[in-house]
Amino acid sequence: MTTLQVLAVASEIYPLIKTGGLADVVGALPAALAQEDVAVRTLVPGYPSVLAALKPAKTVMTIGDSFGAPARVLAGTAAGMEILALDAAHLFDRPGNPYSGPDGLDWPDNQRRFAALSRAAADVALGAVKGYRPDVVHAHDWQAGLTFAYMNFAQGRRPGTVMTIHNLAFQGQFSAAFFPMLGLPPQAFSLAGVEYYGGVGYLKAGLHYADRVTTVSPGYAAEIRTPEEGMGFDGLLRDRSATMSGILNGIDTEAWNPQTDPHLAMQYSKASMGRRAVNKAALQSQLGLDQDPEAPLFGVVTRLSWQKGMDLLVANVPTLLGQGAQLAVLGAGEPGLEAGFRAAAASNPGRVGCVIGYDEALAHRVLAASDAVLVPSRFEPCGLTQLYALRYGTVPVVARVGGLSDTVIDANPAAMGRGVATGVQFAPVTYEMMRVAIERSVALYRQPAVWKKLQSNGMASDVSWRDPARRYAALFRELVPAG
Ligand code: ADP
Ligand code: GLC
């Protein structure tokens, strides 16, 4: 088998730049795919943190006018990955996160910033970097969506193309007034092109032009072809059914390994679960919770947003307290939810603790210290925290949606009877059903043998990248002509 060359295109890559699971996935795929004889180079925007990490940062392509000023593509390695960075200071040398400034507002020129990324990606895909000819281009989310539109109208040998949807809620939808700026031919502005509900749709473009469409779980792949969950894309995605699939995410089982995790107060394994108590006590102390080893401790690590159902959790704080439970929240996001958790912590000292902010090390500690992790998402393309929870012997209590329903086996009588349950699911995603799920979870927790079984089943689940990487590799190889 010859090594397949894949050019990945994305706006985030862990550990260089991250706002959510997209970065984790883009950062994990290169190493996982290397095991399948697939060599990945990832093109990302030249944010300050990316350029600072890139060695040796050799110029491999120059661009006379990248949407307003000259730019170049730099090549090198960073964090063990082969990176191409679009060095365009006028677009990417800014504080804040990849999409918004320190004031939390989206940059007003995002349409330009990610068109520039996609334009550069198309040029690299078609051979603009000397000595580099990718076999397949793998675009992630709307920020990379226009890549395939640019490739479609260019001359030359076209690599295979795969568009992966990480979250259909983020669509990259802009006014039609921007179309002329993109430098695409007029005929691209049509239903069979980049036009979407009268505007320019970046994700729409990717979904339309890609040879294959994937999303990050089979469950979400099915949901988004329905009018209820398709967010306007269900028709297009139903048309693409024959070329669409769901491939579950994995997690980095080295970085997330309770036996070696340097962030924990005490490492542990399936054989030494008693040591988890040390982590629980340490987190209780860090978050100002009562030192109560018996209280079921529910943890949450998340963006605080409507998607994640966090308003339902705020409403269910009394349920948790009524069950004698404690709650530990690590999250940042919508100001109303941040205020809601701050208020819950202030009025329930010793029982509710929250840290508003983004903290990678604390995320590990919450996952390792909690008895259960709550993921009450209204929709969830895959979700990673329930996978971390499984690996850490922390029981996931999740909404029965998307990737959550694919990765957690509910402790119903049938699954318990067969000894395969790993957590608790609830549906529909309402305050009431979440309340019932919390009560069920506490009842299970109070039966130590049953709880232990859930924990050990979870720890035995394969949440690694091995199987997903095989699936991606097989999909990529389908797109490459034999010989
Ligand atoms: P999404 O990408 O929709 O936010 P995922 O579950 O796929 O959801 O991925 C979220 C990722 O971000 C996980 O790696 C999670 O640990 C991390 N994360 C989310 N919020 C925080 C936070 N406040 N501090 C640290 N890590 C966080
Ligand atoms: C998105 C989704 C999340 C998924 C992640 C990585 O941010 O919201 O469910 O796990 O992408 O694919």
Quick check: CB of 358 below 6 Å from ligand 1? yes
Q: Where are the domains of the chain?
A: 4-250+466-478, 270-460
| Radius of gyration of the chain measured on its C-alpha atoms | 23
pLDDT band at 270 (very low <50, low <70, confident <90, very high): very high
Please give the CATH topology (third level) of the domain spanning 270-460.
Answer: Rossmann fold (3.40.50)
Tens of pLDDT, residues 275-306: 999 999 999 999 999 999 999 999 999 999 99
Quick check: CB of 282 below 6 Å from ligand 1? no
As a whole number, mean pLDDT of residues 297-316 equals 98
Helix (H, G, I), strand (E, B) or coil at 371: coil
Contact indicator for 364, 389 with CB cutoff of 8 Å: no
Q: What percent of the chain has pLDDT over 90?
A: 98
CA of 25 to the centre of ligand 2 (A): 8
For residue 404, the ligand closest to its alpha carbon is 2
Nearest to 166 by CA among 4, 307, 366: 307
CA of 24 to the centre of ligand 2 (A): 9
Quick check: CB of 110 below 6 Å from ligand 2? no
The tokens of 320 are what?
């948790």
The answer to whether 4-250+466-478 and 270-460 have equal CATH topology is yes
CA distance 380 to 308: 8
Quick check: CB of 384 below 6 Å from ligand 2? yes
State if pTM tops 0.75: yes
Per DSSP, what are the bridge partners of residue 301?
330
Residue 483 has pLDDT above 70, yes or no: no
As a whole number, mean pLDDT of residues 399-403 equals 98
Residue 417 has pLDDT above 70, yes or no: yes
CA distance 380 to 400: 9
For residue 170, the ligand closest to its alpha carbon is 2
As a whole number, mean pLDDT of residues 152-179 equals 96
The set of residues, in sequence order, having a beta carbon less than 8 Å from that of 149 and lying 6+ positions away, is 118, 184, 188, 193, 194, 205, 206, 208, 209
Quick check: CB of 19 below 6 Å from ligand 2? no
As a whole number, mean pLDDT of residues 152-181 equals 96
CA of 26 to the centre of ligand 1 (A): 14
Quick check: CB of 303 below 6 Å from ligand 1? yes
Quick check: CB of 314 below 6 Å from ligand 1? no
Quick check: CB of 385 below 6 Å from ligand 1? yes
pLDDT band at 212 (very low <50, low <70, confident <90, very high): very high
CATH number of the 4-250+466-478 domain:
3.40.50.2000
How wide is the angle at C-alpha 408 spanned by C-alphas 452 and 316, nearest 5°?
85
pLDDT band at 2 (very low <50, low <70, confident <90, very high): confident
CA of 22 to the centre of ligand 2 (A): 6
How much is the pLDDT for 166?
98
